[in-house]
Structure 1
């Protein structure tokens, strides 16, 4: 159990009101009960939180309340992200190897790791401290899995993949499948062997049913702290920088390079061999066919600078009315024309 004051201390926050009351849970304002902590980023949210049964509210600096105890913090969302694990800790997986797991004699599995049912660990694989393979995971020959890695059920890791520390990969994702490489030869498409690998740096999270292909020759690289959503396809030899955000259903063609802090919104397609600069932002459902400079935001298909794209959308919306007026003008001009002119 936590008190308001003990939570504020952990968050570096300031208590406004009675800090001795117990906090037993966390909930949104419309579902909060006595004992719950909720949060409010805006005055309208604060009104809803004050009308709720919540015992305390996380707020930014400057907020006041006559009816609720507040914890003032720099950023309520960041504070909530720190609070939630206190009340909803991750499932603990005890160290050990399930009897149904198949582990090659040359593999090195740390004694603190958890290997769940029906896992297959190939030759010369290493699994680091406290890492968890939940079940049905296949780890290919020569792969390296760091410390505190968590592979959810049915994640498949192809050979020679390198995974850093504190990486999370969700169910159904495949890392290191062959890249899409073919050459046309005598009337048929001949497969170009994909002999590279995948390197995933520390603190990466990859959603469910994603696919990250191995490089054709060198590696496909996912930079430290990058977060990849569900149903994303990363083609061979793509290189992502640090702390990128890739949202659902994004597709990358081969050999594109992302610098650090790139954000790509859902259902966008990125052509091959491009460069996306630091803090570039790609709007949802965009088709990127050119390099994007650092800090630029683009939208649309083909993607254009956001202001330009918005002007184009406004102009497109005005086309039906413009066409109607054009037809009226054409009729007027036709009526004004003299015979034989």
Structure 2
């Protein structure tokens, strides 16, 4: 799709500096952009590369590009270039449209309710009492367990499995291979054998959540596992039974959260971190990559390390660890001198 610079600027609430009638047909990084492309720059070095490149127009923060007029490029000045480029990408590359209807060969129980505007792709199985909302998309190979609810405009990519009784809100996107509502990991030792504790709860995914590929989100043991509105979950994340994730949280790749931990809103957990069970993670907390969280984190807390401690303490420990080889060398030298009868005084 093609748009004039003025049309794009209007969509982005930006200001045009240059030729507003210039037609743009795509978006590309500065080093690979061609004539007719839009690029962006949010730092001085990126701006220099964009001005030297072939892109016809540049998205820039208003504060970054004073005095660049007349250098052969049309500018679109915006408040935040990264937000603007995300919106521009959605403009140039809208999500594909799926025709309404049910593909031949789909199995669906007669008690299920599929909105006429929904798209159900090939090889899907729809269980008893399932409800699928308006304009929802099941791309193919999806198994939807009995009694589940899938909201309006929700998209399930191929081979997503939704276990019985799951509740998925509106405008949710779930990527390929993810399992929603699988059994939580619950066992008790009974006469020398591990007896499974039946997992009879459910999972609730609120509106505007996105879940990456090959994630596993367990149902509650008795109550519900809950994923709050607007939360974004990366690939290969595991959430155990009865975990509660607040609104607008970010969970990066390979994060694992043990059972019954409760998170506030706007929490960020970086990649490969593990969170122990039955903890409370406060609003706007930040967990650094590869951390092992064993204690509660207060609102606004920032932790790193394994076991995780405050980011300031963790950085001090790292500095001290880096000094250990020199410290060991000095201690050995002192021990040698003491052993030879010399006094370490004056060191």
Q: Which residues in structure 2 correspond to 1:115-264 (within 5 Å)?
A: 115-264=120-269
Structure 1 unaligned regions, length at least 5: none
- Alignment-derived partner of residue 312 in structure 2: 307
- Structure 2 counterpart of 1:331, from 322, 327, 336: 336
SS in 2 for 1:183: strand
User: Structure 1 residue 337: deviation in Å?
Assistant: 5.7
TM-score, length-scaled by structure 2:
0.96
- Alignment-derived partner of residue 25 in structure 1: 26
- Give the whole-Å Cα distance in 1 for the aligned partners of 2:89 and 2:154: 20
User: Structure 1 residue 91: deviation in Å?
Assistant: 1.4
SS in 1 for 2:31: helix
The runs of at least 4 aligned residues of structure 1 exceeding 2 Å deviation read none
Range moving further from structure 2, 216-225 or 8-17? 8-17
- Alignment-derived partner of residue 15 in structure 1: 16
- Structure 1 counterpart of 2:294, from 285, 289, 308: 289
- Give the whole-Å Cα distance in 2 for the aligned partners of 1:22 and 1:171: 36
- Give the whole-Å Cα distance in 2 for the aligned partners of 1:110 and 1:11: 34
SS in 1 for 2:188: strand
TM-score, length-scaled by structure 1:
0.98
- Give the whole-Å Cα distance in 2 for the aligned partners of 1:164 and 1:15: 39
User: Structure 1 residue 291: deviation in Å?
Assistant: 0.2
- Give the whole-Å Cα distance in 2 for the aligned partners of 1:138 and 1:6: 42
- Give the whole-Å Cα distance in 1 for the aligned partners of 2:144 and 2:6: 46
- 1:86 equivalent to 2:91? Answer yes
Residues 58-94 of structure 1, C-alpha deviations (whole Å, 9 max, x = no match): 0001313223111000101101111112211211110
Q: Which residues in structure 2 correspond to 1:26-105 (within 5 Å)?
A: 26-62=27-63, 63-64=65-66, 65=68, 66-105=71-110
| RMSD value, Cα | 0.9
